Structure 1
Amino acid sequence: MKFPNYLTLLMCIAISTANAQYDPSKIFITDFYKHHETSVRSASGKPGSGYWQNEADYTVKATFNVDTFLLEGEVLVDYINNSPDDLESLWMQLDQNISSSNSKAHKLKNPTEKSDPSQGYTIKSIRVLKGKTWEDIPYIIDGTRMQLRLKDALRSKSNISFSIVYSYVLQTRSSGGRSGYMDTEDGQIFQFSYWYPRLCVYDDYYGWNTLPFVGSGEMYLDYGTIDYEITVPSDQVVVGAGMLLNGDDILNEKTLKRLAEAKESDKTVFIRTAKELKKSVTKSKTGTTTWHFKMEHTRDVAWAMSTSYIWDAAKINLPSGRKALAQSVYPVASTQDKIAWARSTEFMKFSVEEFSQKWFEYPYAVATSVAGRVGGMEYPGLAFNSWKAEPYKMFLLASHEIGHTWFPMIVGSDERRHPFMDEGFNTFIDIYAHENFNNGEFAPKRDGEYAEQGGNPADEIIKVLEDCKNGPTLMTPADNMAREFVHPLAYFKSAFGLVLLREVVLGHDKFDYAFKQYINNWAYKHPKPEDFFKSMDNGSGEDLSWFWLGWYHNNWQLDQAVTAVSYVKDYADNGANITVSNNQQMVMPILVSVEEVNGKVHDFKVPVEIWKLGETAQFHVDTTSEITHVVIDSEHQLPDIDRSNNVWHSKK
């Protein structure tokens, strides 16, 4: 009696294994969300009634020596603890220390390398203001992090003011390749980022966010006002994030007149031409000049300078009627051959106007594109772009890097843990900018090694899904991914996922409404992935947990196949039943095109919920004549890995 039962069990297991390619219980689950509602973060994906985040305001005064490459500065920090917790210590980011042999980035490569004192920050003093007196703060430095150990804890809902006097030597490429200098025929170009000690974020998820800077993961910072002064030789042209406060005091009459003209012009206006590189834009022709900038509601600032900069600008028109300024600085070498820097301001102006009209209005007074050695790095309202970019790459850089002002500079996600929330979201809005600029001059947007001439993004993403099948997912931090996975996943797959939601799953109206709600609700705040997922669910009215699970938490693949067509009671005019199978674990709506002998065509979408019932789906089509063929996803909108089974033809 036991033997036949055992055989039956084996047969059931075999049948189950054969049909186990798709299991609806793995993707349609009832308790997908792990972080439930709190007073800080609501169940709908919005900040809760008790949402808090800390604030960091910086006042920085720095000088830079063009002969020794030494930057010396003092930063005064006013830090407001809005959290419910008392803080016994404060953690700072010292990202310049990535160049030091004491950093984890170096120790991961060569732990035996001897320390080089010229690399990274030199901290001269750290003092806290107690009443009217300054007291030293004990601290430790651990690679790219520094802990300030307070004598008296910073109480909840109180603030602290402290000063750090520091210096560092600018390297040819430093801060993980995000700053540095280069030579041109007309002078050197200097680019400065991560150039002052900055506070780590203390939040409701992790407390102190102290992930070290090792190269791939970028920024996670609190918001505040950054007021900074840069003292440099008077022959330099300086551009920085934010508004130049003392332009009337330091710029000469010709420069001020041209800037005023540019602020009213939709056409690019030269502030400094190639023929004027020997002439200073400042009133002082010798000695030093102090440039004073200020930026509010920002996570960070960066700046650049050169004697070799051509400078041009134009007006940005914003939806509210407010105006801003697009400006670019670049050397003569960036105008030669097929290099397209002469159009940089045109590209910047369009991109800011496009993103403002479509998603969220640009909040700052100036948008700046800087040519230099650093080829594609973003900061609030300012981007470092390659000095030798050709037209397509120039538009891609100008649009993408300033697009980061929206993600993650306005919507302040954690780039070190969740790169898909900035790189992917930004790449997504870039896709439509490429389509809309100058009647599609630079469309479509292509994605690196997966792009093929005349290819289709849905087909190209299949290669990504195959390569990453057993690799990291979109939920993986950048520093946990091998370099070859970062762009395909954080940029391409993340962006294409939003395209699928907008073009296939939700449609433009529902997607745009939900996505804009997410941006507005989380502007200048710190969303986590589940906040985004819940925002899109609630804004669209759809349960998209299957999509977040399949596309973001896993690298599941998709394969839909037409397996049968039959007529009701064997008569075509009674209508037809079409059977489709789901041969992989990812699910999507079924995009169907049916053509009859009489020429009638049925194009329709079957909702994704049909896959809740199993790997085989059947639906009815009202026909009046025999079907000649059925095609699934005829326009290749879905990443179907096997298109050979997407078509059914009548034997007749």
Structure 2
Amino acid sequence: MYIFSRNRSFTKIATIIILVFTCHTSFCQSRYNPSVLFPALPLLPAGNEYRTATGEPGPAYWQNQSDYVIDVTLDDQQNLIKGIVTITYTNNSPRPLSSLWLQLDQNVYKQNSRGILSGLFQYKNPDEQVKDGGFEIEEVKLTDNSNIAYDVYDTRMKLSLSEPLKKGQQLTFRVKYNYLFPVNYKNADFQVNRTDIMPSKNGNIYAVAQWYPRMCVLDDVEGWNTLPYLGNGEFYLDFGNFQVNITLPSSYLVEASGDLMNPEEVLTPVQLKRWQSAKESSGPVFIRSAKEVLDASSRPAKPTCTWKFRMDRTRDFAWTASKSFIWEVLNFRIGDGKPVTGSSLYPVESEKRNSWSRSSEYIRFTLQHFSQKWFPYPFNKAVNVASNLDGMEYPGMVFCSAKDTGNMYWAVVNHELGHTWFPMVVGSNERKYAWMDEGFNLFIDNIATREFNKAEFAGYAEIDMPVAALFADTILPILTRPDAIPGNQVYPIQYQKVAYLLALLRNEILGTDRFDHAFRKYIRDWAYKHPTPWDFFRSMNASTGEDLTWFWKSMFIENFRLDQRIAKVETTAKNKTLITIENIDRAAMPLVIDITYTNGLHEKRSFPVEIWENGASYTFAANKDDLVSKVLIDPDQVYPDVNRGNNIYDLKR
């Protein structure tokens, strides 16, 4: 999700944050305690047979698999989804299971859902009673047509099994359900819209996501992950295979996460020819152009079409449908030679020079760049859909704002497609650790932006607030559950602070080659698996050969602040200048000093973070015997020092 595009007033938020920020550090007294950042006992939990101390999956690591066959219809008169999802669940865990848990995300739209009552999903007029939304569960049955006992608790459903599902066994069951799109609700205005309808000049655009009952994850860390869906915490899902059949009026064009299996049944002969020729073309091919949108012959002359899709080794599936779509495809290859199709669907209103007309260009660059830099793109296509979801990601498919242009359009497309790597490949728990996909993604986005089209959009600030604001007293630690983070802190904490810190670790503390090697190994090790924050921390420690406890503790687990201060500059009898630096807040960082002598010469000194292991004060001698005229801490201002006013000594003052 790209939350900046959902609320674009973060500069104002940053101003508010910086106003409430006050440094509680006394000028003479340090709050720094080295034993907190450099403990003898390990900060991270011990490794085990499931998750090793080196940050890799262990020899006994396991995860369950959820495979789906879904038959769904769209009633565009009632805006109603009706479906039957058949789930084959494989228990790879060490223990037999007497019950299974599923997510029912659409239930967040019920009047008294926890999401609405907690204020994360809100109605325009909270006093007005509106029609209940959410899933209507019609039946839950085994393959022999016998019933399964089930209970629904808000956005979760518990299935009670008559016989335990043993290790290595599979269970296949089906759920028949329906739901109305949330847009049907009178005067409803939800903060988070991840399944929605956008009106356009030539017809509605359906963004269909979180649209079927999905298995909760059972893991070795927390057992069943059954946190309710409230809004900020997104998804934690099993990997599996999908077969999806979508039936709706033939006037609609449909695209989805997976590969289209029956183009000859759902495309016109002209479109099918274009579809096939696009595979050999080096440039974009329009399956349907803007001029053809209102042409009835651009769709098959039959009442309905069933679009059949397949996708393997994925954690989710989304789709879109509209009569209004221009449909553009571009075939290209990523670094390992694999062919990929970029598919762009948008209404004529969005066909603007610096907007959706560049969709294919952005898809190609993003997938090629991230594939070469971090990990090969895993799917056969990437779909970019114009909608009123300002930015939301699903495997192989993203929804971006139909209205965005310029830098904002680039940023959202690049970001949403970047989610392929986090969390679609590295399947972290977004319900608890959103920063492991949002922040990691923004970090790689920023690198991509600097390299795109001769840095076309690099002039836009990566951090659109003072860095000190990211460490204000009011800011919660990064390692905070997403639903517990106030709305005005979600973007600063989960996105910008994490991206800033990873860039700091890469560019200043470890170096780019060392960091990149470690980051790539983390991605490879946890591809299609479920890492925790501890796995990431341990992986980076092991790959770089560094004990980064001080960094994880101060920057991620806590909201510690850095305040390095020039305490004293004195000349000895032997004409040596001694400089004393104090660490007066709770964080520590390497120390970089620029010294200017009265003769105009400069000396730059760098010291490792270990200088702070023994205490809050560090004294060193300037290398030259000449008189020192100025001393400056962190001359390039790369570290997050919250008080730059005490970073300078000037003889003239």
Report what 1:328 is aligned to.
344
Say whether 1:441 aligns with 2:456: yes
Deviations 1:448-469 (A, max 9, x none): xx726xxxxxxx2211211xx2
Report what 1:78 is aligned to.
88
TM-fit CA distance, 1:354: 1.1
Q: Which amino acid aligns with 2:547?
A: D
Q: Secondary structure at the match of 2:145?
A: strand
- Say which of 198, 202, 221 aligns to 2:218: 202
- Say which of 478, 494, 514 aligns to 2:498: 494
| 1:182-201 alignment runs, 5 A limit | 182-201=198-217
- Say which of 393, 396, 409 aligns to 1:381: 396
8 Å contact 1:373–1:387 — kept in the other structure?
Answer: yes
Could you tell me the TM-score, scaled by structure 1's length?
A: 0.90
- Say which of 133, 152, 160 aligns to 1:119: 133
TM-fit CA distance, 1:582: 1.0
For residues 351 and 265 of structure 1, the distance between their equivalents in structure 2, rounded to whole angstroms, comes to 19
For residues 301 and 581 of structure 2, the distance between their equivalents in structure 1, rounded to whole angstroms, comes to 76
8 Å contact 1:95–1:175 — kept in the other structure?
Answer: no
8 Å contact 1:190–1:304 — kept in the other structure?
Answer: yes
Q: CA RMSD in A?
A: 2.4
Report what 2:409 is aligned to.
394
Report what 2:176 is aligned to.
165
Report what 2:11 is aligned to.
none
For residues 339 and 346 of structure 1, the distance between their equivalents in structure 2, rounded to whole angstroms, comes to 11
Report what 1:456 is aligned to.
none
For residues 62 and 156 of structure 1, the distance between their equivalents in structure 2, rounded to whole angstroms, comes to 31
- Say which of 467, 484, 489 aligns to 1:485: 489
| 1:324-363 alignment runs, 5 A limit | 324-336=340-352, 340-363=355-378
Report what 1:8 is aligned to.
none
Say whether 1:153 aligns with 2:168: no
| 1:297-312 alignment runs, 5 A limit | 297-312=313-328
For residues 634 and 273 of structure 1, the distance between their equivalents in structure 2, rounded to whole angstroms, comes to 54
Q: Secondary structure at the match of 2:491?
A: helix
Report what 1:4 is aligned to.
none
Report what 1:45 is aligned to.
55
Q: Which amino acid aligns with 2:167?
A: S
Q: Secondary structure at the match of 1:135?
A: coil
Q: Secondary structure at the match of 1:489?
A: helix
Distance 1:20 1:603, change over 3 A: closer
Report what 1:537 is aligned to.
541
- Say which of 451, 454, 457 aligns to 2:464: 451
Deviations 1:487-535 (A, max 9, x none): 1101111111101100111110111111111000000000000000000
Q: Secondary structure at the match of 1:595?
A: strand
For residues 297 and 569 of structure 2, the distance between their equivalents in structure 1, rounded to whole angstroms, comes to 75
Report what 1:462 is aligned to.
468
8 Å contact 1:118–1:168 — kept in the other structure?
Answer: no
TM-fit CA distance, 1:625: 4.0
Q: Which amino acid aligns with 1:511?
A: F
- Say which of 127, 139, 154 aligns to 2:150: 139
For residues 205 and 31 of structure 1, the distance between their equivalents in structure 2, rounded to whole angstroms, comes to 22
TM-fit CA distance, 1:256: 3.0
Report what 2:15 is aligned to.
none
Say whether 1:181 aligns with 2:182: no
TM-fit CA distance, 1:174: 7.6
Say whether 1:274 aligns with 2:290: yes
Q: Secondary structure at the match of 2:639?
A: coil
Q: Secondary structure at the match of 2:231?
A: coil
For residues 310 and 362 of structure 1, the distance between their equivalents in structure 2, rounded to whole angstroms, comes to 25
Name which of structure 1's ranges 537-546 and 471-480 shifts more when overlaid on structure 2: 471-480
For residues 97 and 402 of structure 1, the distance between their equivalents in structure 2, rounded to whole angstroms, comes to 27
Report what 1:57 is aligned to.
67
TM-fit CA distance, 1:27: 1.9
Name which of structure 1's ranges 113-122 and 145-154 shifts more when overlaid on structure 2: 113-122
Deviations 1:155-197 (A, max 9, x none): 1221111111111112227894101102111111111001110
For residues 555 and 312 of structure 2, the distance between their equivalents in structure 1, rounded to whole angstroms, comes to 36
Identity of aligned residues (%): 38
8 Å contact 1:41–1:531 — kept in the other structure?
Answer: yes
- Say which of 385, 397, 407 aligns to 2:422: 407
Q: Which amino acid aligns with 2:74?
A: F
Deviations 1:462-493 (A, max 9, x none): 11211xx2442111111111111111101111
Say whether 1:367 aligns with 2:382: yes
8 Å contact 1:255–1:281 — kept in the other structure?
Answer: no
Could you tell me the TM-score, scaled by structure 2's length?
A: 0.90
TM-fit CA distance, 1:40: 0.4
Distance 1:280 1:583, change over 3 A: farther
- Say which of 90, 100, 111 aligns to 1:101: 111
Report what 2:581 is aligned to.
580
Distance 1:634 1:17, change over 3 A: closer
For residues 220 and 353 of structure 1, the distance between their equivalents in structure 2, rounded to whole angstroms, comes to 27
Deviations 1:417-466 (A, max 9, x none): 0111011000110111111111111114546xx726xxxxxxx2211211
Deviations 1:258-293 (A, max 9, x none): 334444445433222110102368762231111111
Distance 1:175 1:21, change over 3 A: closer
Distance 1:436 1:17, change over 3 A: closer
Distance 1:565 1:348, change over 3 A: same
Name which of structure 1's ranges 206-215 and 641-650 shifts more when overlaid on structure 2: 641-650
Deviations 1:370-426 (A, max 9, x none): 101111111111111111001111001100011111111110000010111011000
- Say which of 544, 564, 567 aligns to 1:563: 567
Report what 1:425 is aligned to.
440
8 Å contact 1:175–1:194 — kept in the other structure?
Answer: no
Q: Which amino acid aligns with 1:241?
A: S
Name which of structure 1's ranges 268-277 and 524-533 shifts more when overlaid on structure 2: 268-277
8 Å contact 1:73–1:165 — kept in the other structure?
Answer: yes
- Gapped runs of 5+ residues in structure 2? 1-24, 184-188
TM-fit CA distance, 1:118: 5.0
Distance 1:16 1:270, change over 3 A: closer
Q: Secondary structure at the match of 1:184?
A: coil
Name which of structure 1's ranges 638-647 and 58-67 shifts more when overlaid on structure 2: 638-647
Q: Secondary structure at the match of 2:197?
A: strand
Q: Which amino acid aligns with 1:120?
A: G
8 Å contact 1:430–1:445 — kept in the other structure?
Answer: no
8 Å contact 2:30–2:585 — kept in the other structure?
Answer: no
Deviations 1:566-592 (A, max 9, x none): 4565336xxx54321112111111122
Q: Which amino acid aligns with 1:94?
A: L
Distance 1:280 1:222, change over 3 A: farther
Name which of structure 1's ranges 275-284 and 226-235 shifts more when overlaid on structure 2: 275-284
Deviations 1:144-163 (A, max 9, x none): 11001111111122111111
For residues 494 and 233 of structure 1, the distance between their equivalents in structure 2, rounded to whole angstroms, comes to 45
Report what 2:19 is aligned to.
none
Report what 1:642 is aligned to.
643
TM-fit CA distance, 1:116: 6.7
Q: Secondary structure at the match of 2:444?
A: helix
Q: Secondary structure at the match of 1:101?
A: coil
Report what 1:518 is aligned to.
522
Name which of structure 1's ranges 255-264 and 75-84 shifts more when overlaid on structure 2: 255-264
8 Å contact 1:243–1:365 — kept in the other structure?
Answer: yes
Deviations 1:104-141 (A, max 9, x none): 12343599989977511111111113xxx221101011
For residues 113 and 334 of structure 2, the distance between their equivalents in structure 1, rounded to whole angstroms, comes to 43
- Say which of 288, 291, 294 aligns to 2:307: 291
Q: Secondary structure at the match of 2:108?
A: helix
